[in-house]
Amino acid sequence: MQSKADTHIHTTYSDGAVAPETLVDYVVEQTDLQVIAVTDHDTAEGGLAAQAYARQRRLPLDVIVGQEVTTDEGDIVALFVHKSLPAFHSARAAVQAIHAQGGLAIAVHPFSAWASLGKMAGVGRLLAHLPLDGVEIRNGFPTNTLSNRLTQWINRRGPRLSELGGSDSHVPHTVGQAFTWFPGRSAADLRRALLARRTRAGGPLWTPASLCAALPLLRGAGLPAYEHTHVYGDEPAAPGDPHIAQPGATRPRPSWAEFSQKP
Ligand SMILES: [Zn+2]
Ligand SMILES: [Zn+2]
């Protein structure tokens, strides 16, 4: 049997509009997804909260703990991680840190049409040179329709990475608009399929209602401003830094909750 996963969703732990629990309830009640990955910017806490909620209630939904890792060379989604990763200057360092946790590294919106505006940066042609586990060839944002086609074209002529679809949802109504088909039913099945290159991307499937739900995102309105002050994992922390656990260690990235409490 083939199932559907949405491997790119944001919650209030970064710049998404709803809490992880609300997201999980919505997915179970309103969609045909068997698996989701919560991939907040710069923190895995949203994914951990969503996974704990689904497990405690024994809901028929597998939640993968993920994170959208910021790098100077473009965004990389980590899937199957256990704790938050910092930002990185180099995309290669991010992929290595994801793999060190046993996670999978996915290039998302690699040729995003929004990259020139300083948003949604992707790794672009690095796609062919990084030790990635997959590439998002269908990003759900309506602005990425053309760059999705370019990504698929390049992937099939070059690196031939496992192909994924992810909605990049920041509001529940767009969850599942782009998705990933995989053989099986569980998060473990999806992981196996990714490693065996047996996934297929689906969507984006826009309806008038979901397009309306996404409009505030395109205008940049209605969501908390996301603060991009990164602590990088591939440079040594400053001496005297209170976050230093031991000499040479790097600082953990503060959670969204810590950010939003800042004056
Ligand atoms: Zn992104
Ligand atoms: Zn995203």
CA of 114 to the centre of ligand 1 (A): 10
Q: How far is the CA of 41 from the centre of ligand 2 (A)?
A: 7
Whether residue 145 contacts residue 109, with contact meaning beta carbons closer than 8 Å, is answered with no
Task: Looking at mean pLDDT, say which of 136-145, 149-158, 210-219, 253-262 comes out highest.
Answer: 149-158
Residues with a beta carbon under 5 angstroms from ion ligand 1: 75, 120
CA distance 117 to 173: 25
Please say if the pLDDT value at position 259 is more than 60.
Answer: no
Ligand 1 centroid to residue 247 C-alpha, Å: 32
Give the model's pLDDT for residue 231: 76
- State the distance from the centre of ligand 2 to the C-alpha of 9, rounded, in angstroms: 7
Q: How far is the CA of 10 from the centre of ligand 2 (A)?
A: 6
Confidence of residue 205 (pLDDT cuts 50, 70, 90): confident
User: What are the residues whose beta carbons fall under 8 Å from the beta carbon of 79, sequence distance 6 or more?
Assistant: 7, 37, 39, 64, 66, 103, 104, 105, 106, 133, 191, 194
Question: CB-hemisphere CA count at 13 Å for 243?
Answer: 13
Closest CA to 51 of 16, 79, 91: 79
Q: In this structure, which ligand is nearest to the CA of 76?
A: 1
Ligand at shortest distance from the CA of 70: 1
Q: What is the pLDDT of residues 5-51, one digit of tens each?
A: 999 999 999 999 999 999 999 999 999 999 999 999 999 999 999 99
Q: Provide the pLDDT for residue 143.
A: 83
Structure tokens at 108: 């998302």
**What's the CA dihedral at 157, 3, 67, 142 to 10 degrees?**
60
At residue 36, φ and ψ (nearest 5 deg) are -130, 155
- Mean pLDDT (whole number) for 164-177: 94
At 72-90, the pLDDT tens digits run 999 999 999 999 999 999 9
Q: How far is the CA of 159 from the centre of ligand 1 (A)?
A: 21
CA distances from residue 237 to 88, 91, 106, 244 in whole angstroms, order as listed? 13, 19, 27, 7
Kindly list the structural domains of the chain, giving each domain's residue range(s) and its CATH number in brackets, ordered by start. 2-219 (3.20.20.140)
Predicted structure pTM score: 0.85
Instruction: Report how far ligand 1's centroid is from the alpha carbon of 211 (Å).
Output: 19
Ligand minimally distant from the alpha carbon of residue 39: 2
pLDDT of residue 244: 36
Sequence-separated (6 or more) residues with CB below 8 Å from residue 233:
85, 86, 87, 88, 93, 94, 97, 250, 253
**Which protein residues have a CB closer than 5 Å to ligand 2 (ion)?**
68, 168
Question: What is the band of 94 on the pLDDT scale with cuts at 50, 70, 90?
Answer: very high
* b (16+ CB within 10 A) / e for 153-171: ebbeeeeebbbbbbbbbbb
More confident residue, 241 or 120: 120
Among residues 46, 3, 51, 29, which one has the least CA distance to residue 169?
46
pLDDT of residue 257: 44
pLDDT of residue 230: 76
- Estimate the crossing angle of helix 20-30 against helix 45-56, to 10 degrees: 50
Give the percent of the chain with pLDDT over 90: 70
The answer to whether residues 148 and 118 touch, using CB atoms and an 8 Å cutoff, is: no
Q: Specify the pLDDT at position 248.
A: 37
CA of 58 to the centre of ligand 1 (A): 30
